[in-house]
Amino acid sequence: MSCLLITGGAGFIGSNYVHLKAQGEHRLIVADALHYAGRREYLQPLIDSGRITFIQADIRDTDLMTQIIEREQVNAVVNFAAHTHVDRSISDPAPFYQNNVEGTCSLLTAALRVFVEQGRGGRYHQVSTDEVYGTLGPDDPAFTELTPFAPNSPYSASKASADHFVRAFHVTYGLDTTISHCSNNYGPYQFPEKLLPLALSRLLYGEKIPVYGDGQQRRDWLYVGDHCRGIDLILEHGRSGERYNIGGGVEISNLQFLRALYQTLCTVMAEHPRLAERYPHFFAAGAAKAAGAQAGSFDPGLVPDFVAVVEHVTDRKGHDRRYALCDDKVRTELGYRPQMDFARGLKHTVLWYIEHDLDWHIFNA
C-alpha cells in the first residue's frame, strides 16, 4: 500500500501509528480535526521533516475526505478518529454520535466513492474497542470476534454503531474493510484525562489518585506499540470483511494496575534521584515529607504506602466490571504477538512522560 490516509492521527493511538508507519516507505497523509485530545505537536517533527503531510480536517466533511483520497491517490484508510472518553460520553452523548457514527459513515462514503465507484481499489480499516462487547462476569470466557455486541455506555454504543456501518458498507457495496477491537491501551502520547497519565500526574504533584468504586474492575492492558503493530498486520494481511481482536494478555484490576504504576514510578525516582528536585510534591502525599526528605535525595523507604495515595470515589454510571479479549484469531491467522512485556512497557511509559514533561498537571486542576 503506497499511500495511507490516517484519520485521527494526532490522537493517542493514531499518533503512535503514524510514528510506526513513518519508519517505512509509505507515503502518509494524516488528517485530524484537532479537537481537545488531538495535538499537532505529537507529529511536528514528522511534519517539519516532510515525512508526513498533515491536514486539519473533520472526517464528517465527506466531500473534503473524498478530495483527499482522490487527489493524494490514497489506497488505504485507517480510521482512528473518535471521541473516546467514557465519562464525557455519559455527561454529553451527542458529540459521540456525531463524531463516531456520523464521522465514520462520512469517511466510509468517501472511501466508497473512490475505491469502489471509481474502481481504484483500496482498503478501509476501522479501529474499534473491546467495549462494544459489553461486560463480563468473573468466570465468563473472554470476548471473541463472535461475541454479540452489547455496549453499555454512550461511547461504546457509538463505536458499535460505527462498526455496524463498516460491516454494512462491506456487505452492501463491496468495500474492502477490516475492523480491529483492542483492549485498554497504555503508552506515550495519551491525553491526560485517561487513567495512566492522570494517575502519574497526581502522584508527581502529591495528589491522591481517584479510583472508581472498589477498584476491582478488571481490564486487559495492551502496550500501544503492540496495538499499532497488530493494526498493521490486519491492514496488510487481514481477510476482507473480517474483525480481529488485539489483546495484551495482562488482565488485572484497576487497583493492581495503579499499584504497578506507583511501584514503577518509585523505581524510576530511585534510579534518577535528581527527579526529587523536579517533583518535590511527590513526597507530599504522606510519610516522606513528614520525615523531612530533602530535595535532590530519594529514599524509597520514605515513600507512602500505596493505600495512602489512592482515594475511592463514587463509581461511574453503568461501569463495566470486566473486559477480557481472546485474540487467538489474529495470532493464528496473522502471527500477531505482543512484543512489550507489561513491566518494561510501564517503565518505558513513565520515563517517556517524565522526559517530555508536557505539563500534564494543568489538565487535572
Model confidence, pTM: 0.92
Give the model's pLDDT for residue 286: 42
Q: How many angstroms separate the CA atoms of 170 and 360, rounded?
A: 41
Q: How large is the average pLDDT for residues 267-281?
A: 84
Q: How confident is the model at residue 289 (pLDDT cuts 50, 70, 90)?
A: very low
Residue with cell 470486566: 322
Strands 243-246 and 310-313: unpaired
Percentage, residues of the chain above pLDDT 70? 92
Phi-psi region for residue 180, left (φ > 0), alpha (ψ -120 to 50) or beta?
beta
Average pLDDT over residues 81-110: 95
pLDDT of residue 287: 36
| Residue 233, C-alpha cell as written in the block | 498486520
Check if 130 is active-site.
yes
User: pLDDT confidence of 360, banded at 50, 70, 90?
Assistant: low
Per-residue pLDDT at 112 exceeds 60: yes
CB 93 within 8 A of CB 156: no
Highest mean pLDDT pick, 89-98, 173-182, 287-296? 173-182
- Angle 310-311-312 (CA atoms, 0-180°, nearest 5)? 120
Whether the pLDDT of residue 99 is over 90: the answer is yes
Q: What is the mean pLDDT of the chain?
A: 91
Q: What is the mean pLDDT of residues 65-91?
A: 95
**Residue 209 in contact with residue 306, Cβ under 8 Å?**
no
Catalytic residue among 124, 155, 189, 262: 155
pLDDT per position as a tens digit, 198-255: 999 999 888 899 999 999 999 999 999 999 999 999 999 999 999 999 999 999 999 9
Q: Report residue 84's pLDDT band, with 50, 70 and 90 as the boundaries.
A: confident
| pLDDT of 193 | 81
With a cut of 90, say whether residue 100 has pLDDT above it: yes
Contact 157, 150 (CB under 8 A): no
Beta strand residue intervals within 145-200, DSSP E: 176-182, 184-186
* CA atoms lying within 13 Å on the CB side of residue 102: 10
Catalytic hit among 32, 58, 130, 220: 130
Q: Is the pLDDT of residue 191 over 70?
A: yes
Fill in the amino acid letter for 194. Answer: K
Beta-carbon contacts of residue 204 (< 8 Å; ≥ 6 apart): 265, 279, 281, 282, 354, 361
Domains, the chain, with CATH or none: 3-190+223-250+323-339 (3.40.50.720)
Statement: residue 292 has pLDDT above 50? no
Calpha distance 300→161 (Å, rounded):
48
155 is catalytic: yes
Confidence of residue 303 (pLDDT cuts 50, 70, 90): low
- Name the catalytic one among 32, 58, 131, 251: 131
**Contacts (Cβ under 8 Å, ≥6 apart) of 355:** none
- Please report the pLDDT score of residue 304 as a whole number: 63
Q: How far is the C-alpha of 246 from the C-alpha of 228, rounded, in Å?
A: 10
- The percentage of the chain sitting over the pLDDT mark of 90, rounded to a whole number, equals 76
Q: Is the Cβ–Cβ distance between 346 and 240 less than 8 Å? A: no
pLDDT for the residue 85: 84
Residues 6+ apart with CB under 8 A from 69: 5, 77, 110, 111, 113, 114, 115, 122
